[in-house]
């Protein structure tokens, strides 16, 4: 990973964890506590390719029922023009 923010150019990125929402067609997967680097200035988050590949593989395993998720959530869905 680069040590400078590619979004704003700020030099300091802090290692932390975040919630990552992965989308595959209409299916969403929420992964908690994903390691990332977060820009101290603009908040942009950067992930290792290996981290993203792991999430993709997990989503595929869930979508093909080779595995069950740790838990599921009911989420609200809205269409912007109806707000």
Q: Which residues bind Zn ion (CB under 5 A)?
A: 5, 7-8, 10, 39, 41-42, 44
Residue 51 parent element (H or E): helix 49-63
CB of 56 to Zn ion, least distance (A): 25
In the bound state with Zn ion, the residue whose beta carbon lies nearer, of 8 and 61, is 8
> Residue for token digits 């200035």?
41
Three-class secondary structure of residue 82 per DSSP: helix
CB of 49 to Zn ion, least distance (A): 20
In the bound state with Zn ion, the residue whose beta carbon lies nearer, of 10 and 54, is 10
Report the distance separating Cα 41 and Cα 24, nearest Å: 30
CB of 57 to Zn ion, least distance (A): 29
In the bound state with Zn ion, the residue whose beta carbon lies nearer, of 18 and 24, is 18
For β-strands 27-39 and 13-24, DSSP reports them as antiparallel
């Amino acid at each position: 990973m680069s040590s400078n923010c590619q979004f704003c150019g700020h030099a300091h990125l802090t290692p932390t964890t975040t919630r990552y929402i992965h989308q595959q067609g209409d299916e969403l997967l929420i992964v908690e506590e994903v390691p990332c680097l977060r820009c101290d200035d603009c908040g942009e988050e950067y992930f290792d390719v290996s981290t993203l590949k792991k999430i993709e593989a997990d989503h595929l395993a869930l979508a093909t029922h080779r595995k069950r998720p740790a838990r599921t959530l009911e989420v609200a869905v809205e269409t912007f023009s109806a707000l």
